[in-house]
Every structure is written in structure tokens, then in C-alpha cells.
């Protein structure tokens, strides 16, 4: 019997006992606090949930939750794909071996999740508010409010839910150290303006600051082109007329899904694209969409820092 099912049964028995006491005319008190019966109380986007002291069978329903768990040393028993057939993010490598796929972000498979007998489920209100009650019937379920730009706050909640707060502090220190090392490698300012463009089937995006990659670039202190130096998510569904807004000293490009279903080649064959300074100087770099867009966690962020060192710091050393 899972911890959660045992907890539910104990709650029902306790409720029955209280009902009998009320019928007998007796009054009783109850003790409160953050320590529950065999677990801890976690406050999150959907309320308060009791979780095990040290969850061992965790299911994650988004890429950020997967990154957090792996970063904290917890291999989930189940995880979702971003889209069918994509698999789990390549940047996590062998660390995802043996994790059961339980549907997609858009459509988690509740039967597969239940079959894994999890003792904790992690996701967000943004993604799965409509199925929160169903998930909670399977196992204790903890939701962040949203995803993306709040990835650091989300990581804190994941660490508390997983009982790994000490490890979380180590992770944050390592990230800050990595930032300092990259800044040293970049040398004296001014640093290059960094543009980020993402090609998605049916949607071409110019990324601004209110997103995961925007926060990482800001942590480093890299400047952005004027059109992207805005506290917004992104310019969405842009046409060829918006190509000038893609310009920067360097352009990082990612592709989500099947490249043939995106406008990448159409954009890159356009005269406006070829006129961009970064294009003329060969400073356009295609990087992993898994890492730069879907990772949304500290392991992904450190991978982005590695890319920035590879393409920016080494370029400056060679100049």
C-alpha cells in the first residue's frame, strides 16, 4: 500500500471517530502545525498538501519539473514528453534512462501515472489545473503557479516537496559560481547584444526577457537588442517584416519540433535576413531547443552557460 493511500485511509478513520464523538456529545481538540502524519505540509498554488518526508516514486508532468528532480538527485519513475515521439530532453542524457513515459504535457495519461504508484506528483497550475483533483486522488500533488520566468521560485518549491533543500542550496551556489566564471571569460565590456529567435511549427518567435532564457541572459549581464530588451515574453507569430527585430551582435536560433514544419528556411532565405549584421559576419548559432527553451531548470541553465562560453567567450579570445 502506498504512503498516500495509507494516509487517506487514516484520515477517513479519524473523520469517523470524530463523528462518533460528536454523536456522544463529547468535544475534542486537534493539533496543528507543518508536520503531518508521516510527512510534511507543503503550501503551493492549489493549497496545502501533505507529502512524504523523502519521496521516492515521483512523477513529473513538465520539463521544468523533470530538470528540478534530476538536478536534485531524484530520478522520477514517470515523466511526460513535450510532444508525442519526442522523448525526454537529450541534454539530460543517461540520467533519464528507465523513466516511464506517461503521456504528453498537454495530455498526461492518468492510468499510466496511477499504475506507477507514485508518492508525489509535480506540475503547475498553468499546465494541469483541470486535472488537479484527479491527480490528487492518485498521489500527493504539488503545483507551482506557472512555468518559465519563475523557474527559480519553482525550483525552491520542488526542493521543499522533494525534501532536498540542502542540495538546492548547493545547486544555486554552483550556478552563481558558473556565472562568475563566464563573466571572467567574457572579459571587458561592452559585451555583444544577444538576440534569440525560435522557430516553432506555425509560429516564429523573437524572445524578450520574461522567460527562462531571458532570465539566464540577464543573470550573466548580456545586453539585448532594443526590440528584445522588454519585460515581456516574446514577439509571437512574427512575419518576414519583423526580421530586422531579430538582429543583434549575435543571434541564437532554436527549432522546436520538425524543422520542415517551421518558417526557418523561408526566413533565412529572405533578403532581410541576409542583411542582418550577425548573418553577414557568420555570428548566427543554432542551439538546442531542449536546453534553451524547454529545460527551465538549473541543469539546463548551466548548459546554456556552457553554450555562451563556447560561442561568445571563445570568439572573443580568438579576436
Task: Give pLDDT tens digits along the chain (319 positions).
Answer: 444 444 443 443 333 333 333 333 332 222 222 454 569 999 999 999 999 999 999 999 999 999 999 999 999 999 999 989 999 999 999 999 999 999 999 999 999 999 999 999 999 999 999 999 999 999 999 999 999 999 999 999 999 999 999 999 999 999 999 999 999 999 999 999 999 999 999 999 999 999 999 999 999 999 999 999 999 999 999 999 999 999 999 999 999 999 999 999 999 999 999 999 999 999 999 999 999 999 999 999 999 999 999 999 877 666 6
Q: What is the dihedral of CA 229, 171, 43, 125, to 10 degrees?
A: 50
Helices (H), the chain: 3-23, 63-71, 110-115, 125-128, 132-138, 151-162, 165-186, 212-220, 264-268, 271-274, 277-280, 289, 298-308, 314-318
* Contact (Cβ atoms closer than 8 angstroms) between residue 279 and residue 243: no
Report all structural domains of the chain as residue ranges with CATH numbers, in order of start. 35-163 (3.40.50.1980), 185-314 (3.40.50.1980)
- Sequence-ordered list of residues with C-beta below 8 angstroms from that of 295, at least 6 positions apart, any chain: 63, 64, 67, 89, 91, 212, 301, 303, 304
Provide the angle, in degrees to the nearest 10, between the axes of the packed helices 212-220 and 151-162: 100
Amino acid at each position: 500500500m502506498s504512503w498516500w493511500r495509507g494516509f487517506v485511509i487514516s484520515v477517513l478513520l479519524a473523520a469517523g471517530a470524530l463523528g462518533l464523538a460528536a454523536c456522544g456529545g463529547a468535544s475534542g481538540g486537534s493539533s496543528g502545525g507543518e508536520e503531518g502524519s508521516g510527512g510534511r505540509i507543503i503550501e503551493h498554488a492549489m493549497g496545502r498538501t501533505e507529502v512524504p518526508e523523502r519521496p521516492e516514486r515521483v512523477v513529473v508532468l513538465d520539463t521544468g519539473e523533470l530538470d528540478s528532480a534530476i538536478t536534485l538527485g531524484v530520478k522520477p519513475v514517470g515523466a511526460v514528453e513535450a510532444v508525442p515521439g519526442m522523448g525526454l530532453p537529450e541534454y539530460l542524457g543517461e540520467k533519464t534512462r528507465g523513466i516511464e513515459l506517461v503521456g504528453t504535457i498537454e495530455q498526461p495519461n492518468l492510468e499510466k501515472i496511477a499504475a506507477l504508484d507514485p508518492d508525489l506528483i509535480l506540475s503547475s497550475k498553468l499546465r494541469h489545473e483541470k486535472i488537479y483533483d484527479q491527480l490528487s486522488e492518485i498521489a500527493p500533488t504539488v503545483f507551482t503557479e506557472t512555468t518559465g520566468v519563475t523557474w527559480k521560485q519553482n525550483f525552491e518549491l520542488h526542493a521543499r516537496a522533494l525534501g532536498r533543500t540542502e542540495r538546492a542550496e548547493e545547486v544555486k551556489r554552483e550556478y552563481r559560481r558558473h556565472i562568475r566564471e563566464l563573466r571572467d571569460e567574457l572579459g571587458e565590456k561592452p559585451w555583444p547584444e544577444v538576440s534569440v529567435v525560435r522557430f516553432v511549427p506555425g509560429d516564429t518567435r523573437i524572445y524578450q526577457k520574461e522567460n527562462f532564457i531571458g532570465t539566464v541572459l540577464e543573470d550573466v549581464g548580456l545586453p539585448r537588442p532594443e526590440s528584445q530588451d522588454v519585460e515581456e515574453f516574446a514577439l509571437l507569430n512574427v512575419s518576414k517584416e519583423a526580421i530586422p527585430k531579430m538582429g543583434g551582435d549575435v543571434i541564437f536560433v532554436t527549432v522546436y519540433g520538425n524543422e520542415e514544419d517551421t518558417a526557418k528556411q523561408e526566413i533565412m532565405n529572405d533578403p532581410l535576413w541576409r542583411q542582418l549584421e550577425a548573418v553577414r559576419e557568420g555570428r548566427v548559432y543554432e542551439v538546442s531547443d531542449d536546453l534553451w527553451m524547454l529545460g527551465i531548470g538549473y541543469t539546463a541553465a548551466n548548459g546554456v552557460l556552457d553554450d555562451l562560453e563556447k560561442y561568445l567567450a571563445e570568439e572573443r579570445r580568438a579576436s
